[in-house]
């Protein structure tokens, strides 16, 4: 690993990003982190990270920059333009985006800086507890050499890290996964409603499904959340965004989601 790859820039130290930074620091990286909230900056500085005053400043001398932002709009706000992250990163710097957004946004950024840093899409599957355990699943799309460099750094908080092919393939795979998860969540919620009509207790239903062929990971998450309402309150906003992103990505390619979209958007959960 080169000396510059030992310096990692980081933007987006929120619920997911903060434990990523902590794992990177613990793995021995110098992490230059931009966080808007003073209390986050203070916590990360106390842990050994180096707070900087802008997203662009995270790229200074860094071989790898990680962006962990919620939406395409946030990514564009941070990365695009003359004062953005990409314009201030050295050529050859690998910029890893954990945003579950659209391939068109990644392509736009790559076209804006054709001779600049190398973009890698790196959507994730899992939560903060997986990051803390070093077992987050990350999909990586981009040039082979950039992916290999990113894999070594992301191993601080992710296992497995799965290479998927060229830029955008990881994001497309993640979007397929997300719309399938949304469809499974709708089916799980419908099963709970059916169980109620047939006099089956939720606890009995989930216990049985966990051991039977009709069970799913989505049903397990509904159970862990304490029921459909609690699950929907926490997860529905993310699923709604992800389903919309998948529809947009498919439309860009002239593809329809068919049954997946029908199930994902037509069920007990409001995901349309």
Terminus-to-terminus CA distance in the chain, angstroms?
45
What is d(CA 34, CA 18) in angstroms, rounded to the nearest whole number? 11
Angle, to 10 degrees, between the axis of helix 103-112 and the axis of helix 72-79? 10
Alpha-helical regions (H) of 64-102: 72-79
DSSP category for residue 93: -
Angle, to 10 degrees, between the axis of helix 103-112 and the axis of helix 169-197? 160
Contact between residue 75 and residue 101 where contact means Cβ atoms under 8 Å apart: yes
State the sign of the Cα–Cα–Cα–Cα dihedral 120, 125, 127, 132: negative
Please confirm, yes or no, whether 174 is among the known catalytic residues.
yes
Q: Cα torsion at 174, 179, 180, 181 (round to 10°)? A: 90
Query: Encoding tokens for residue 132?
Result: 């803390």
Q: Is 65 exposed, middle or buried (0-12, 13-18, 19+ CB in 10 A)?
A: buried
What pairing do the DSSP bridges indicate for beta strands 94-97 and 118-121?
A: parallel
Catalytic residue among 15, 108, 174, 196: 174
CA atoms within 13 A on the CB side of 165: 6
Contact between residue 243 and residue 179 where contact means Cβ atoms under 8 Å apart: yes
Query: Encoding tokens for residue 173?
Result: 């795979």
Residues that are catalytic: 174
């Amino acid at each position: 690993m080169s000396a510059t790859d030992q310096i990692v820039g980081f933007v987006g130290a929120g619920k997911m990003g903060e434990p990523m930074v902590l794992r990177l620091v613990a793995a021995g990286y110098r992490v230059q982190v931009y966080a808007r909230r003073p209390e986050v900056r203070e916590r990360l500085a106390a842990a050994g990270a180096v707070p900087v005053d802008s997203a662009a400043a995270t790229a200074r001398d860094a071989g790898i920059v990680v962006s962990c932002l919620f939406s395409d709009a946030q990514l564009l706000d941070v990365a695009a333009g003359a004062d953005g992250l990409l314009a201030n990163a050295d050529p050859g710097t690998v910029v890893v985006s954990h945003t579950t957004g659209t391939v068109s946004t990644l392509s736009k950024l790559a076209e804006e800086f054709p001779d600049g840093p190398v973009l890698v899409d790196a959507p994730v599957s899992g939560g903060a507890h997986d990051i803390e355990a070093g077992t987050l699943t990350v999909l990586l799309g981009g040039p082979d050499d950039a992916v290999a460099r990113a894999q070594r750094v992301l191993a601080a908080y992710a296992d497995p890290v799965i290479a998927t092919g060229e830029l955008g393939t990881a994001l497309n795979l993640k979007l397929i996964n997300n719309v399938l998860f949304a469809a499974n969540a709708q089916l799980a919620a419908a099963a709970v409603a059916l169980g109620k009509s047939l006099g089956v207790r939720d606890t009995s239903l989930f216990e049985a499904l966990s051991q039977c062929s009709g069970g799913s990971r989505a049903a397990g998450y509904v159970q862990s959340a304490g029921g459909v309402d609690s699950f929907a309150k926490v997860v529905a906003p993310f699923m709604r965004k992800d389903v919309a992103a998948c529809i947009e990505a498919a439309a860009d390619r002239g593809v329809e989601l068919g049954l997946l979209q029908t199930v994902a958007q037509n069920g007990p959960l409001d995901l349309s």
